[in-house]
């Protein structure tokens, strides 16, 4: 955490065909379900709790109004992972034109990291992303400030690196 002011290389990965997914089965007790009635407080809480370890800061200053507008868009889905009935993590999927789906946020709560859940959760995220309809690409970005296994998890699930940017510059 002491290096938070240092730029971190951002890695952009994509999957261009559903058949590229190299799934990992869910362990017993893992349940992943879509939030059907969006509540911005839920997204904000997961963002803060999951992101605290990884220095997610870009949305910490958002107002209730900004969070509500973000969460209540038809192109956004929020999914909650639970292990044995307890919230373990979440991911957000955003449908983008022309047929792209981005995994916006993805992560586990601290006490659930290192327990083999990330691969199964990512498998579900990718499967759900491809189910949006006319999808041509699923993509995600990560950086070295994220969990040390994040980049490898994306690669093991079948994502291919297509760009890197120093210092956190986001692609349009």
What are 64-71's contacts with CB under 8 Å, separation 24+? 64/40, 67/40, 67/41, 67/43, 68/40, 70/40, 70/43, 71/38, 71/39, 71/40, 71/43
Calpha distance 138→129 (Å, rounded) = 7
pTM: 0.90
Greatest distance between any 2 Cα atoms in the chain: 43
H-state helical runs in 18-90: 40-51, 64-71
Q: How confident is the model at residue 4 (pLDDT cuts 50, 70, 90)?
A: very low
Count of CB atoms situated within 10 Å of the CB of 146: 22
Domain 10-166: give its CATH superfamily.
Gcn5-related N-acetyltransferase (GNAT) (3.40.630.30)
The reported pLDDT for the residue numbered 131 is 94
The sheet with strand 86-96 has its strands ordered as 30-34, 76-83, 86-96, 100-108, 137-143, 10-15, 160-165
pLDDT tens, position by position, 128-160: 999 988 999 999 999 877 877 889 999 999 999
Is the model's pLDDT at 172 over the cut of 70?
no
Evaluate whether 136 touches 18 at the Cβ level (below 8 Å): no
The confidence score (pLDDT) of residue 5 equals 47
Average pLDDT score, the chain: 91
The residue ranges of every structural domain in the chain are 10-166
- Rounded to the nearest angstrom, the gap between the alpha carbon of residue 5 and the centroid of all alpha carbons in its chain is 23
């Amino acid at each position: 955490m002491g290096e938070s002011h240092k730029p971190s290389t951002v890695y952009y990965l994509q999957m261009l065909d559903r058949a590229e997914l190299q799934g990992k089965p869910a362990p017993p007790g893992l349940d992943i379900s879509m939030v059907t009635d969006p509540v911005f407080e839920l997204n904000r809480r997961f963002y803060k709790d999951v992101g605290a370890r990884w220095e997610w800061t870009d949305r910490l200053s958002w107002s209730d109004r900004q969070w509500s507008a973000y969460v209540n868009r038809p192109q956004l889905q929020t999914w909650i992972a639970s292990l044995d009935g307890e919230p373990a993590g979440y991911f957000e999927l955003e449908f983008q034109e022309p047929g792209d789906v981005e995994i916006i946020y993805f992560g586990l709560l601290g006490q659930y990291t290192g327990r083999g859940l990330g691969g199964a959760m990512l498998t579900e995220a990718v499967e759900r992303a491809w189910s949006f309809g006319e999808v041509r690409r699923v993509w995600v970005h990560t950086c070295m400030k994220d969990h040390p296994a994040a980049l490898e998890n994306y690669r093991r699930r079948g994502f291919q690196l297509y760009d890197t940017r120093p210092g956190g510059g986001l692609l349009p």
